Amino acid sequence: MKKYLVTGGCGFIGSNFIKYMLEKYPDIFIVNLDICSYAGNLENLADIEKDSRYIFVRGDIVDSELVKGLFEKYDFTNVINFAAESHVDRSIKNPELFVKTNVLGTVNLLQRAKEHWLIGDDEYRPGVKFLQVSTDEVYGSLGETGLFSETTPLDPHSPYSASKTSADLFVKAFFDTYKFPCNITRCSNNYGPYQFPEKLIPLVYNNACNLKSLPIYGTGLQIRDWLYVLDHCRAIDLVCEKGKLGEIYNVGGNNERTNLFIVKSIIEYVNKNVNSSCTEKLIKHVEDRKGHDLRYGIDASKIKKELGWEPETPFEEGIVKTLDWYKNNTTWLEHVTSGEYKNYYKNMYGDCDE
């Protein structure tokens, strides 16, 4: 039986991943190690918390004794590292925390997994693997043309992407130095249920429903490649099962949209389904993000060709599914926008509604 250590499983992608895996594999065991930061929410996993194949442990991926103890107790065959500080704007204000969690945390997990799995000189237990969930942001920014491939030089611009790049380099170093069994996936922007409303889509949806200003950084002509979260989960599972050791796989939706397009799609949905007073008049262009990357675009042909993965959810379908979910889960949205979020929002967007 496969035994997974999933870190950051109370966050957006991690919680979707745990549920996806429990549904897909009857014979599986998952330990979710999560510190429950502002972005980690046990409510995201309420429907599976009593599943005997699942255990939650509250703790820090930087804590070496804790991680060592978990390996000894549960004898994991796989590690999927989602745990991270994930928001670019927060990294601009507090880079140190990103180094601690994203870099030191990853190195601690790598070390503990290596110690536990090693059975001889550069020899590991059969079938074990560490998967680092990384991001397209490590490649920096594109101009109007071209796509990021796995061989595009790394050129991160924000403290967030610099910390994710450093983590990737440590994973690569563990493969190159110790032949450590691992893969890295680099995915584009995810959207779907349970995303914390500091990120564009749930933030704009929440504001639109409450007829608050919709903050667009700069021109709004920046481009992101959007992928439905369950398509990302499928890719991670596949790389974990079949990815060639040491390889990096880009994952993308082949779905590039400007931020303005995304915001207008949300306005249209809210106008039709939630509040007919919501119109484009709510759009407010605010100061641009520092070091804002203009465009991300992913060439996902390697994972397609080698592992047969393709995105399955068209954006038009995924965005309606996503917004329907937020519409039907107003209590969740109310919970996550109370407390810490209020201060964060005030500091970030304080004068937006004036």
Closest C-alpha to 81, from 134, 21, 16: 134
Among residues 85, 137, 231, 237, the one annotated as catalytic is: 137
Q: Does 88 bind ligand DAU (CB under 6 A)?
A: yes
Q: How far apart are CA 22 and CA 16, in angstroms?
A: 10
- The Cβ-side half-sphere exposure at 179, using a 13 Å CA radius, reads 9
Residue 91 interaction partner, one of ligand DAU, ligand NAD, none, beta carbon < 5-8 Å per kind? none
Q: Is 174 or 296 the residue whose CB approaches ligand DAU more closely? A: 296
Examine residue 186 and tell whether it contacts ligand DAU (CB under 6 A): no
Q: Does 222 bind ligand DAU (CB under 6 A)?
A: yes
Instruction: Based on the shown chain and the rule CB under 6 A, indicate whether residue 136 belongs to the binding site for ligand DAU.
Output: yes
Please count the other Cβ atoms lying within 10 Å of the Cβ belonging to residue 323. Answer: 23
Q: Rounded distance, CA 246 to CA 308, Å?
A: 18
Q: Which is nearer to ligand DAU, 148 or 170 (CB)?
A: 148
Q: What part of residues 85-104 is at the interface with ligand NAD (CB under 6 A)?
A: 85-86, 101
Catalytic residue among 136, 198, 225, 293: 136
Binding residues among 4-33 for ligand NAD as defined by CB under 6 A: 7-8, 10-14, 33
* Shortest Å distance, C-beta 296 to ligand DAU: 5
Residues touching ligand NAD: how many (CB under 6 A)?
31
To which residue do tokens 């820090």 refer? 60
d(CA 161, CA 188): 12
CB of 191 to ligand NAD, least distance (A): 8
Q: Cβ distance 80 to 185 under 8 Å? A: no
CA–CA separation, 168 and 244 (whole Å)? 16
- What would the two tokens of residue 173 be? 């170093």
DSSP label of 227: E
* Catalytic residue selected from 160, 191, 249, 344: 160
Question: Which of 22/67 has CB closer to ligand NAD?
Answer: 67
Binding mask 271-310 for ligand DAU (x = CB under 6 A): ------------------x------x--------------
Asked if 137 is an active-site residue, the reply is yes
293 as an active site residue: the answer is no
Place of tokens 């979710």: 32
Reference 41, options 79, 77, 8; nearest CA is 8
Helix, strand or coil for residue 229?
A: helix
| Closest to 192 (Cα-Cα) out of 39, 21, 38, 17 | 17
> Is residue 209 close enough to count as binding ligand NAD by CB under 6 A?
no
Instruction: Tell me: does residue 190 bind ligand NAD (CB under 6 A).
Output: yes
Nearest distance from residue 74's CB to ligand DAU, in Å?
28
Residues 6+ apart with CB under 8 A from 340: 38
Q: Which of 256, 255, 186 is nearest to 222 (CA)?
A: 256
Give the pair of three-digit tokens for residue 346.
Answer: 């005030």
Task: Give the pair of three-digit tokens for residue 272.
Answer: 């039709």
Interface segment toward ligand DAU; rule CB under 6 A; list 73-81, 110-118, 166-174, 197-205: 197-205
Among 57-65, 285-293, 318-326, 342-350, the segment contacting ligand NAD (CB under 6 A): 57-65
Q: Is 136 a catalytic residue?
A: yes
Spell out a b/e string for 105-140, using b for 16 or more CB atoms within 10 Å of the CB, else e. Answer: bbbbbbbbbbebbbeeeeebeeebbbbbbbbbbbbb
For ligand NAD, give the closer residue by CB, 40 or 215.
Answer: 40
Residues forming contacts to ligand DAU in the complex (CB under 6 A) are 86-88, 135-137, 188-189, 199-200, 203, 215-217, 222, 224, 259, 289, 296
Known catalytic residues are 136-137, 160
Residues forming contacts to ligand NAD in the complex (CB under 6 A) are 7-8, 10-14, 33-37, 39-40, 60-62, 82-86, 101, 105, 133, 135, 164, 187, 189-190, 196
